[in-house]
Amino acid sequence: MIIAIDGPSGAGKSTLGKMLAKELGLLYLDTGAMYRAGALAAIRQNVSLDDARAVSRIVQGAEIALEGEPDALRVLLDGEDVSSEIRTLKVAQAASVVSTISDVRRRMVELQRSIGESSPNGCVLEGRDIGSVVFPNADVKFFLTAKPEARARRRYEEDKAKGHISTYEKTLAEINERDQRDVSRSDSPLTISDEAEVIDTSDLDLTEVFEQMMSKVREKKGAAA
């Protein structure tokens, strides 16, 4: 079974994707982490992120892998664990730029398909283009969204808990900037697939969203049986 979860940052995709993967015994693939690892590779080589050819050459040559259980996922770049380093604001912003490059996207999509297809029980993939590009025939598609203010509030609280210093206003501005880039890029912009179940998580708690998603999955499984 392939489950696609798309949506803007801070809508709850990662938390809910991990919960679903654990509950259903599926592999969990955080595709944003792969773009972040690619961006980190480019930063480390000191190339300008505007130089699409240089960036894509570096990303093509980088070995990006994800390992471990959904809630203890490790992201490896050329064999090195970069799980924490890819979560910095600098890398998030670089990933948002690098992910506009078509050659980079092509390489990531290939990798994501091969990981998803080779997983014995199936896979939960979360990102921006899973239901539209990576697995257009996914068994279940979700589009999680929330008001920018709700997403910024959650992200700000998460960052604070991790000891990162920022302000709510700054976080909101960053979220708006990344959203704008995600929806306006020419290659695979963030869109809602026709068959996707759209869930606005602004005023829902995690358990409510999880139950809603699980009932959709059960419905699909029932229909397939």
Chain positions contacting ligand DC, by CB under 6 A: 9, 31-33, 35-36, 92, 95-96, 99, 127-129, 178, 182
d(CA 36, CA 134): 17
For residues 84 and 223, which CB has a smaller minimum distance to ligand DC in the complex?
84
Query: Can you list the alpha helix ranges (DSSP code H) found in the chain?
Result: 13-24, 31-44, 52-61, 89-98, 102-118, 148-161, 168-184, 206-224
CB 35 → ligand DC: shortest distance, Å? 4
Whichever of 126 and 217 has its CB closer to ligand DC, that residue is 126
For residues 9 and 175, the answer to whether their CB atoms sit within 8 Å is yes
Q: Supply the minimum distance, in Å, between the C-beta of residue 32 and ligand DC.
A: 2
Pick between residue 179 and residue 221 the one whose CB is nearest to ligand DC: 179
Which CB sits closer to ligand DC, 141 or 178?
178
The nearer residue to ligand DC, 108 or 225, going by C-beta atoms, is 108
CA distance 54 to 39: 12
Beta strand 64-67 with 74-77: parallel, antiparallel or unpaired?
antiparallel
d(CA 180, CA 172): 12
Residue whose CB is less far from ligand DC, 158 or 215: 158
Least Cβ distance, residue 24 to ligand DC (angstroms): 20
CB of 8 to ligand DC, least distance (A): 9
CA distance 2 to 127: 13
Nearer residue to ligand DC within complex by CB, 151 or 224: 151
Residue 154 tokens read as 């959650």
Distance CA 9, CA 14 (A): 9
The Cα-based distances of 129 to 48, 106, 164, 175 in angstroms read 25, 12, 29, 18
Shortest distance in whole angstroms from residue 218 CB to ligand DC: 26
Taking the complex as a whole, how short is the minimal distance between the CB of residue 160 and ligand DC, in angstroms?
Answer: 18
Nearest approach, Cβ of residue 58 and ligand DC (Å) = 16
Bridge partners, residue 157, by sequence: none
